[in-house]
């Protein structure tokens, strides 16, 4: 009888552990979705994502503002190579990186909505 009771207690504990694990996973998912939705609700980001970017104009913006640190042909670049950036970061993350200036020595850069859409379009082709 004691062995049967111990097995029942183990089953209850396993079920509770599974439920707690599921609850934690759902909370993490909810937080991720809330943060993502908050980022997209930013009026600047929303506007940039609604525009069609011109990669030719984006290349010109890149040349004027970014190549000093991100020119991939130079061995002594300050910033990382941006080749394949769009496979590593979402559009929202790229926009935030460009405008935030939170990664020294990268300066804060606030292009217009259309300039950012153009730059984003160019970066996606790198």
Task: Render pLDDT for 1-58 as a digit per residue (tens, 0 to 9).
Answer: 567 766 777 777 777 777 777 777 666 665 655 555 555 678 999 999 999 999 999 9
Between CA 94 and CA 37 the distance in angstroms is 16
User: What's the Cα-to-Cα distance from 126 to each of 13, 28, 32, 43, 71, rounded to whole Å?
Assistant: 52, 33, 28, 26, 11
Between CA 89 and CA 20 the distance in angstroms is 31
Per-residue pLDDT tens for 85-126? 889 999 999 999 999 878 878 888 889 999 999 999 999 998
Q: What is the pTM of this model?
A: 0.66
Instruction: Give mean pLDDT, residues 60-81.
Output: 79
| DSSP conformation letters of 25-92 | HHHHHHHHHHHHHHHHHSHHHHHHHHSPP-HHHHHHHHHHHTHHHH-TT-TT-SSPP-TTHHHHS-HH
Between CA 123 and CA 84 the distance in angstroms is 8
């Amino acid at each position: 009888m004691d062995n049967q009771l111990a097995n029942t207690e183990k089953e209850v504990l396993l079920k509770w552990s599974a439920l707690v694990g599921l609850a934690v996973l759902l909370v993490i998912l909810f937080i991720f979705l809330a943060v993502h939705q908050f980022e997209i609700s930013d009026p600047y980001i929303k506007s940039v994502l609604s525009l069609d970017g011109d990669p030719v104009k984006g290349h010109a913006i890149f040349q004027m503002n970014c190549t000093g640190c991100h020119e991939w042909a130079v061995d002594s670049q300050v910033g990382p190579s941006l080749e394949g950036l769009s496979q590593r970061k979402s559009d929202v993350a790229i926009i935030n990186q460009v405008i935030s200036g939170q990664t020294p020595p990268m300066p804060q850069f606030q292009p217009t909505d259309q300039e950012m859409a153009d730059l984003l379009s160019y970066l996606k082709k790198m």
